[in-house]
Amino acid sequence: MAILFHETSKEFHLYNDKISYIIKILDNGHLGQLYFGSRIQDRKDFDHLLETCYRPMTSYQSEGYAFSLEHIKQEYPVYGTSDYKLPAMEILQPDGSRITNFTYLSHRIYSGKPSLQGLPATYTESDEEADTLEVTLKDELLGIKLVLLYTIFSQEGAIARSARFENPTDDTFDLTRAMSASLDLPDCSYDWIQFSGAWSRERQVKIRRLEQGIQAVSSTRGHSSHTHNPFIVLKRPTADEFQGEVLGFSLIYSGNFLAQAEVDTYNVTRIMLGINPFGFTWNLKPGEKFQTPEAVMVYSDQGLNGMSQTFHRLYRSRLARGQWRDKVRPVLLNNWEATYFDFDEDRLVEIARAAKEDGVELFVLDDGWFGERNDDHAGLGDWYANTERLPNGIKGLSEKIEALGLKFGLWVELEMVNMDSDLYRAHPEWILQTPGRKSCHGRHQYVLDFSRPEVVDCIYDMVAKILSESKVSYIKWDMNRSITECYSLALAPAQQGEVFHRYILGLYSLYERFIKNFPHILFESCASGGARFDAGMLYYAPQCWTSDDSDAAERIKIQYGTSFGYPIVSMGAHVSAVPNHQLFRNTPLATRGNVAYFGAFGYELDLQKLTDEERKMVREQIRFMKQYRSVLQFGTFYRLLSPFESNIAAWMAVSDDQKTAVIGYYKTLNDVNCEYRRLHLKGLNPNLSYLVDKTGKIHMGDELMSVGLITTDASAGQPCSGQPEEGFEICTDFWSKIYVLTAE
């Protein structure tokens, strides 16, 4: 058992070979935080870590100056009883008070990990994989119970946390703040890293020092958003990709969130993660429970890569589920940028036939196949085939695609509706809308009220009919606008603060029904690209469309930032046409492939419009991907050079047996007469010799890691002047190279 309870000192010690997490029941019955970090030896009493002293202008709970929550590090703090920092929870009571006092009642320690009803969460497949601590606290005046859940994984430096509120009373309370995790750290000597951006430039790496005050990222858009990701990192200033202390915090949730660091004037840092309290109220009725989403905290003393690899392993194998969890992903071709809305069945079959000739395994039909969907003004919500375009329906088209030897996939956007649709005309009350107020549109579409079970049922029935009749192996589930006028006509006024969260619960329930009834389907989540690339979605869809921006140069940054918290296999990464449809930039086909290899690989173009030489290169790209995709998608991933810090970026993936490694090396803009260059590799076996495919030379693993792989290219001279010297290639802007290392 990896969780100890010391009765005398009233301390819990959660530990494995990598980490220790120590909690104490304080004198007032609250839970105090004593330590989170690298594994330390257990002792019966860690009381010396609880520091108290008299400080002026401080409020104290007891006579004398010994106990103030303002200066004690806590596990799940509340505001108003001597702690003045922002709290983890708040309850509005019938008498108008918000003061609470949750004190220790009992605890339970057991093997394994519980599921969270209606919510995504990490899981175990055997009780030996994790141990769980449940601490129950109670507010004696209110009668409400609070259960704090902690799961420590036996093989990972990770702890999963959540909270559950239970109301066994006859009264109704308004829960106005319910964070998933709070952690008080004894100092603020950290760099804060967030992953921010916008449409087509998601998850850009932003770094700054923690300072006194509050800094945070959040979403109030109804989804996790392009703007900020529900994932933050704290690293020591001396830590880098390969060494030093790093803390990662990830929220397994797809709706409005808050990730916050509050540093007080004594440099104590409080980290909080959970549902954004802005606009949130949960009407906790008699006999009801409220479960927060799960937060995962990771500690690494092996730098940023060590932290990322922990998240990769955990989320790839104990968050993602189903038949596709451990399978390499099929090479696909999506017709969107090839045709947009201009297609019919014959043209689709023609595009698919060409794709099959080049080695593609899955053909995906994107937007425009349903209802009266001739542009983005109409048709959303009418999930039946447009027989003018597809006279044989999805059933007939899917059978033709499968007859070619390809699997068939389908795009959907199930959460939205156009006013010009049969569904809206029948049920105008089914959209989120505020009475008496104008409703905003986004892309001429409106958000269906997924807090209403009858709406979810209707959408499920329409799509399930298609899936039952047709040969569909893949679904791309899109979501192309944020929520406005967040009001449900089906809920009472006192429950309107629940709508954002109930919407997400409805979304999760719909996903769960599809997964249960169509387990063979590979789901890829999408939200105008990466607006809902979060850990919550990975529980239902093991991969996500990383960004609508498929330009190779921009994708290096987007995929690099995404890799901090999410597995490589989860990133949809495609080769698209040039000029690029988002930037109108021309990048070499080779570089487009070299970037897209590191993810769920595919194409967004009409292969028939390529030259013979380009088609030949596509065939070689697909052959290469099929040969190495198990390493690229499931190997250990290392970030080597950051595109946010240099003109050159690099990363690599290493097989579990360390006998194969694939390195991606990218130069954004060409340079001239530059320095000699070496790339220090990681993750190799120092005692194995490796053949480098590009040079034909053999090097020991320790040499490649300590001395480096020579990556000097033609730009060390004058790259575009006549014939390059023997052994060098001509370089251009957006130049790249893939190195494959094979152990001899």
Active-site residues, by number, are: 478, 548
What's the token pair of residue 532? 């809902």
Q: Helix %, strand %, coil % for the chain, to 5?
A: 20, 30, 45
State the Cα–Cα distance between residues 484 and 663, nearest whole angstrom.
Answer: 44
Residue tagged 């003018």 (tokens) = 388
State the Cα–Cα distance between residues 439 and 486, nearest whole angstrom.
Answer: 10
Residue tagged 């090396």 (tokens) = 665
User: How far lies 545's CA from each of 431, 526, 529, 531, in Å?
Assistant: 26, 5, 5, 9
Q: 461 — phi, psi (to 5°)?
A: -60, -40
Asked if residue 397 lies in contact with residue 348, where contact means CB atoms within 8 angstroms, the answer is yes
What's the token pair of residue 15? 């530990």
What's the token pair of residue 87? 């709290």
State the Cα–Cα distance between residues 440 and 463, nearest whole angstrom.
Answer: 27
State the Cα–Cα distance between residues 221 and 484, nearest whole angstrom.
Answer: 8
SS (H, E, C) 516-551: HHCCCCEEEECECCECCCCHHHHCCCCEEECCCCCC
Other CB atoms within a 10 A radius of the CB of residue 279 amount to 13
Nearest CA to 50 among 28, 77, 30, 26? 26
Q: 591 — phi, psi (to 5°)?
A: -70, -40
What's the token pair of residue 674? 């530059």
Residue tagged 């152990």 (tokens) = 743
State the Cα–Cα distance between residues 708 and 32, nearest whole angstrom.
Answer: 47
Q: 741 — phi, psi (to 5°)?
A: -110, 130
DSSP per-residue string spanning 324-381: TTTSPPPPEEE-HHHHTT---HHHHHHHHHHHHHHT--EEEE-SS-BTT-SSTTB-TT
| DSSP classification of residue 480 | -
429-449 burial, b at 16+ Cβ within 10 Å, e below that, comes to ebbbbeeeeeeeeeeebbbbb
State the Cα–Cα distance between residues 336 and 411, nearest whole angstrom.
Answer: 10
Asked if residue 629 lies in contact with residue 663, where contact means CB atoms within 8 angstroms, the answer is no
- Spatial CB neighbours of 166, under 8 Å, sequence gap ≥ 6: 144, 145, 146, 147, 289
- Spatial CB neighbours of 663, under 8 Å, sequence gap ≥ 6: 640, 650, 651, 652, 679, 681, 709, 738, 739, 740, 741
H or E element at residue 512: helix 499-517
- How big is the chain, counted in residues? 744
State the Cα–Cα distance between residues 518 and 516, nearest whole angstrom.
Answer: 6
Nearest CA to 283 among 165, 203, 386? 165
User: How far lies 520's CA from each of 324, 401, 472, 541, in Å?
Assistant: 8, 17, 9, 12
